[in-house]
Amino acid sequence: MYRPDDIGTENFVRCGFRDCYKCCLETEMILTKEDVARIEKNTTFNREDFLLPTEQTDGFMQLKNVESPIGRKCFFLSDKGKCTIYESAPGGCKLYPLILNLETDEVMIDIDCRERAWFNDQTYMHEQVVSVRILVNSLLIENDEMEEL
Ligand code: SF4
Ligand code: SF4
């Protein structure tokens, strides 16, 4: 989710539902190496703090969830439902709820998004659709490279 009043975000998807943080609960967001490096650079946290051990994630770098009064939430979600690393958030978070269905190779709205009906009615720019494909390709390539090590 990216907020509607942000500028210069044509490769991201804007979510204006400010009361919603559903996609940051029980997150399964996968990060690229670039995402991880950016978060480490811009926060006081190391990857061991905010990522699950890769043995639990088939080698992918996946955000950790923690218990909280609002439920099992992303390590970076505040108890008030705000992303605390908004500017540095992973590319997948900024493109969500656009995802790539690996079975159909279709870029689509995630059925888990609370407002999927609204998002399904929107028109998406070519850049946004391409960004989803590039991101997923990067994640798969990086995962293959990790397995070869
Ligand atoms: S990094 Fe931010 S936007 Fe992404 S799942 Fe965590 S809290 Fe939500
Ligand atoms: S679940 Fe959907 S509506 Fe809710 S914050 Fe995420 S993208 Fe926005």
Site of tokens 């079975």: 103
Whether the predicted pLDDT of 41 surpasses 60: yes
- The rounded Å distance from CA 24 to ligand 2 centre is 8
At 58-95, the pLDDT tens digits run 999 999 999 999 999 999 999 999 999 988 999 999 99
Distance CA 122, CA 117 (A): 9
Please indicate whether residue 85, judged by its CB atom, sits closer than 6 Å to ligand 1: yes
pLDDT of residue 1: 52
Residue nearest to atom 4 of ligand 2 (CA): 20
Q: CB of 76 within 8 A of CB of 65?
A: no
Which of 2, 29, 72, 73 for a ligand 1 pocket mutation test, highest count of atoms within 8 Å of Cβ?
29
- The pLDDT confidence band at residue 108, using thresholds 50, 70 and 90, is very high
Q: Flag whether the pTM goes above 0.85.
A: yes
Question: Ligand 1 centre from 86 Cα, in Å?
Answer: 7
Angle at 83 between CA 137 and CA 100, to 5 degrees: 25
